[in-house]
């Protein structure tokens, strides 16, 4: 059975971090499973945790008044789920739901924030890595804003 | 340059604004032979002529198949053509997807929106000789589920050995496939980038970001092939309407290597 720091090393966001750093983070991490359809978090609830997907897929859902609820993103093996734990007011901005059975690593956000406060080098490293994830999602959102499929000539 | 007569044999609606027409040649015994990626100039008498990629099976020359999106007077008239109506056809024109380059390699087919139509002949050829390729992968993106083409056929392709991943920009809760952009599909798709050949077709912004994602994965730029859609009029490289830098898209394309087109994607306001 793999140790938690070995599992963390397989998550792209943590790849290449030093063994002491991974062991340090592992103290805030737990292996969990979610069944198909299980809600991992709900919009407006306190965001005390975040996840890394080991196997499976998670849908981010947005519920709108007087409109059909929509899935705005699906996340897959290796993806991080959630950064609301990083910033005040520490509340989820979407619902997260398991699509099929999902294996995840769950992180205690307060625990990790505490470790980042205590070890600024680790904090800087993690913030850099999370920023890359956030930028990647922002770029994908910008691409969708182009609505590339909505215009153009017949093919 | 003179259109030949083709009779509409079948017509079916794919999405709210897109129709597939099956045409039978009236004046061409032996059927209409073409290579995947080529296009015709399709003429609705009295309305106008538009370039439309061929979306049928190259092994079935007795039926010329086009999937057409109604966006203007001519394409709208073509989409409204009922079985029995006559349309004019010139062609086939243009370059083709270089399937031979993918023999023994991983073939990654990347389509966006109606860009799946010019790639469907490739998929028929793959499924007709699946053993020619190692991995055969279709990555298909669209705006939302009801705007995807050939939904039922995609399931059949899966059952026949094609790996298919679908994503949309937004979907109702419960949509079983992905939500996100095509480059994200490329990032997580399973193929050997060193040995991959890719064919990409769709809106040009999607082509650009997809080609860049393929190259970032390690696919060689000269093995990424793209289909360009420009304002083609004469289809034989005379009128210049489709000129893009030194290339006439109708004559030199529409299928190019991304390497050859890379500079064009960086041109502003073109």
Assigned token pair, A86: 């990083």
Instruction: Identify the closest residue of chain A to B230 by CA–CA distance.
Output: A153
Q: Which of A149, A150, A151, A152 to mutate to test the interface with B (most CBs of B within 10 A)?
A: A149
How confident is residue B234, by pLDDT bands cut at 50, 70 and 90? Answer: confident
pLDDT in tens, A1-38: 889 999 999 999 999 999 999 999 999 999 999 999 99
The answer to whether the Cβ–Cβ distance between B112 and A148 falls below 8 Å is yes
Mean pLDDT in residue range B154-180: 94
pLDDT in tens, B27-38: 888 899 999 999
Mean pLDDT in residue range A80-84: 94
Which of B55, B53, B58 shows the shortest CA–CA distance to B31? B58
B67 beta partners: B20
The answer to whether the Cβ–Cβ distance between A149 and B112 falls below 8 Å is yes
B54 beta partners: B66
Q: What is the pTM of this model?
A: 0.91
- Show the CA angle centred on residue B78, arms to residues B77 and B84, nearest 5°: 105
The answer to whether the Cβ–Cβ distance between B205 and A143 falls below 8 Å is yes
pLDDT at B115 exceeding the cut of 90? yes
How confident is residue A151, by pLDDT bands cut at 50, 70 and 90? Answer: low
Which of A82, A24, A72 shows the shortest CA–CA distance to A48? A82
Residue A154: the pLDDT is 40
Of B175, B205, B229, the CB nearest to A153: B229
How distant is the Cα of B230 from the closest Cα of chain A, in angstroms? Answer: 8
Looking at the predicted complex, does its ipTM rise above 0.90? no
pLDDT at A44 exceeding the cut of 80? yes
Mean pLDDT in residue range B94-103: 94
* Chain A residues within an 8 Å CB radius of B114: 149, 154-155
For residues A92-131, one letter each, b for 16 or more C-beta atoms within 10 angstroms of the residue's C-beta and e for the rest, the string is bebbbbbbeebebbbbbbebbbebbeeeeebeebbeebee
* Chain CA centroid to CA A38, Å: 16
pLDDT at A153 exceeding the cut of 50? no
How confident is residue B242, by pLDDT bands cut at 50, 70 and 90? Answer: confident
pLDDT at A152 exceeding the cut of 60? no
Which of B264, B233, B262 shows the shortest CA–CA distance to B250? B233
E strand or H helix at A106, and its extent?
strand A95-108
Residue B57 to residue B124: CA distance in whole angstroms: 6
Burial class from Cβ neighbours inside 10 Å (0-12, 13-18, 19+) for residue A68 reads exposed
pLDDT at B46 exceeding the cut of 80? yes
Assigned token pair, B158: 């899966």
E strand or H helix at B258, and its extent?
helix B258-265
Instruction: Identify the closest residue of chain B to A36 by CA–CA distance.
Output: B174
How confident is residue B240, by pLDDT bands cut at 50, 70 and 90? Answer: confident
* Average pLDDT over chain B, rounded to an integer: 93
Residue A155: the pLDDT is 44
Residue B252: the pLDDT is 83
Mean pLDDT in residue range B139-155: 95
A143 touching chain B per CB within 8 A = yes
Q: What is the DSSP letter of B164?
A: E
Assigned token pair, B86: 């006559």
Burial class from Cβ neighbours inside 10 Å (0-12, 13-18, 19+) for residue B207 reads buried
* Chain CA centroid to CA A48, Å: 12
pLDDT at A147 exceeding the cut of 90? no
Instruction: Identify the closest residue of chain A to B79 by CA–CA distance.
Output: A154
pLDDT at B270 exceeding the cut of 80? no
The answer to whether the Cβ–Cβ distance between A69 and B113 falls below 8 Å is no
Mean pLDDT in residue range B164-188: 94
Residue B238 to residue A109: CA distance in whole angstroms: 65
Residue A41: the pLDDT is 97
């Amino acid at each position: 059975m793999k140790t938690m720091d070995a599992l963390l090393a397989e998550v792209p966001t943590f790849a290449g971090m030093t063994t002491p750093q991974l062991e340090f983070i592992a103290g805030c991490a737990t292996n969990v499973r979610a069944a198909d359809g299980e809600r991992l978090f709900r919009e407006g609830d306190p965001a005390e945790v975040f996840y890394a997907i080991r196997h499976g897929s998670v849908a981010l859902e947005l519920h709108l008044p007087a409109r059909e609820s929509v899935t705005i993103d699906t996340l897959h093996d290796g993806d991080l789920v959630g950064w609301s734990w990083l910033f005040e007011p520490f509340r989820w901005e979407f619902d997260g739901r398991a699509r099929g059975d999902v294996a995840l690593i769950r992180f205690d956000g307060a625990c990790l924030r505490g470790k980042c406060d205590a070890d600024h080098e680790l904090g800087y490293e993690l913030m850099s890595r999370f920023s890359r994830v956030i930028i990647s999602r922002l770029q994908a959102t910008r691409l969708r804003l182009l609505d590339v499929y909505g215009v153009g000539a017949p093919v | 340059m003179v259109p030949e007569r083709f009779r509409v044999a079948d017509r079916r609606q794919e999405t709210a604004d897109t129709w597939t027409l099956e045409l039978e040649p009236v004046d061409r015994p032996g059927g209409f032979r073409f290579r995947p990626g080529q296009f015709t100039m399709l003429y609705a008498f009295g309305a106008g002529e538009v370039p439309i990629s061929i979306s049928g099976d190259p092994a079935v020359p007795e039926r010329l198949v086009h999937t057409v999106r109604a966006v203007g007077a001519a394409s709208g008239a073509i989409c409204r053509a009922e079985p029995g109506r006559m349309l004019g056809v010139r062609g086939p024109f243009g370059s083709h997807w270089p399937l031979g380059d993918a023999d023994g390699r991983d073939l990654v087919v990347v389509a966006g929106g109606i860009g799946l139509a010019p790639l469907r002949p490739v998929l028929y050829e793959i499924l007709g000789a699946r053993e020619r390729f190692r991995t055969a992968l279709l990555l298909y993106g669209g705006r939302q589920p009801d705007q995807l083409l050939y939904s039922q056929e995609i399931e059949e392709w899966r059952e026949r050995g094609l790996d298919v991943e679908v994503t949309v920009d937004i979907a109702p809760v419960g949509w079983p496939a992905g939500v996100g952009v095509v480059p994200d599909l490329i990032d997580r798709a399973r193929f050997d980038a060193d040995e991959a050949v890719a064919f990409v077709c769709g809106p040009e912004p999607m082509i650009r970001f997809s080609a860049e994602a393929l190259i970032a994965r390690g696919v060689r730029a000269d093995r990424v092939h793209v289909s360009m859609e420009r304002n083609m009029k004469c289809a034989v490289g005379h009128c210049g309407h489709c000129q893009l830098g030194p290339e006439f898209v109708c004559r030199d394309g529409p299928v190019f290597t991304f390497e050859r087109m890379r500079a064009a994607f960086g041109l502003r306001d073109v």
